[in-house]
Amino acid sequence: MMDAADLVRIRQIDVISYGREPSPPPPPAPAQKHSMFSRRRSSSPSYRDSSRHSSSTSRTTTTHHHSTTSPKRTSGMFSRSSGSGDPSIATAKQSLMNAEAAERDADRALFVAKNAVREAREHVHRLEREAAEEARLAKIKQGEAKALGKKGKLLGRHDHM
């Protein structure tokens, strides 16, 4: 049976395995403000854009706007972030994601195994307590039977005279 402590441990495993901790607040906006639809005049992304740039595991997307002379480039979770599109990089990323998934599964299996061990130990302790109680009751019963046996021996003493 799961109690509150088990649920907390599951939450901790989820946080460790899945990175579900709340993300830190974004850095303060620079002094110059841009609306959502305005164009940036420089061809390099600002500090705000670079701070939003994310890895493939993050749920945010990043869009960089360049001057009209350069081609429009957008990158997000489903687009390739490396310029070369090297298949060995894609293979390495997939291998890394598979390893992370295997690690999460192993963490869950370890948690389940630890719970099973704890429950088995509790069951053994319960059986030991029950056996000790049964032994105590058997000892009392044995003492009462012995006392009755002594009384039984006294019966019929008049027959031997």
Rounded mean pLDDT for each run of 10 residues along the chain, 161 residues in total? 66 58 55 59 49 46 51 55 76 97 98 98 98 98 94 75 54
Whether residue 117 is contained in a domain is answered as: yes
With beta carbons less than 8 A apart as the criterion, state whether 80 and 59 touch.
no
Position 39 scores a pLDDT of: 60
- Picking from 126, 139, 10, 107, the residue whose alpha carbon sits closest to that of residue 99 is 107
In a domain, 148, yes or no: yes
**Does residue 27 belong to any structural domain of this protein?**
no
Q: Which of 48, 40, 34, 45 is nearest to 68 (CA)?
A: 40
Alpha helices by DSSP H, listed for 19-72, are 47-52
- pLDDT tens for 17-42 read 555 554 555 565 555 555 666 565 55
- Is the pTM higher than 0.85? The answer reads no
Contacts of 81 (CB under 8 A, 6+ apart): 56, 75
Confirm whether 25 is domain-assigned.
no
Q: Are 54 and 78 in contact (CB under 8 A)?
A: no
Q: Which residues contact 53 (CB under 8 A, 6 or more apart)?
A: 62
Tell me, yes or no, whether 96 lies in a domain: yes
| Distance (Å, whole) CA 79 – CA 77 | 6
73 located within any domain: no
Q: In the numeric block, which tokens belong to residue 62? A: 């990043």
Counted domains in the chain: 1
Residues 70, 64: Cα–Cα separation, whole Å: 12
Q: Would 143 be classed as within a structural domain?
A: yes
Q: Which of 76, 11, 85, 72 is nearest to 43 (CA)?
A: 72
Helices (H), the chain: 4-18, 47-52, 87-154
| Domain hosting residue 131, numbered range | 87-155
In a domain, 109, yes or no: yes
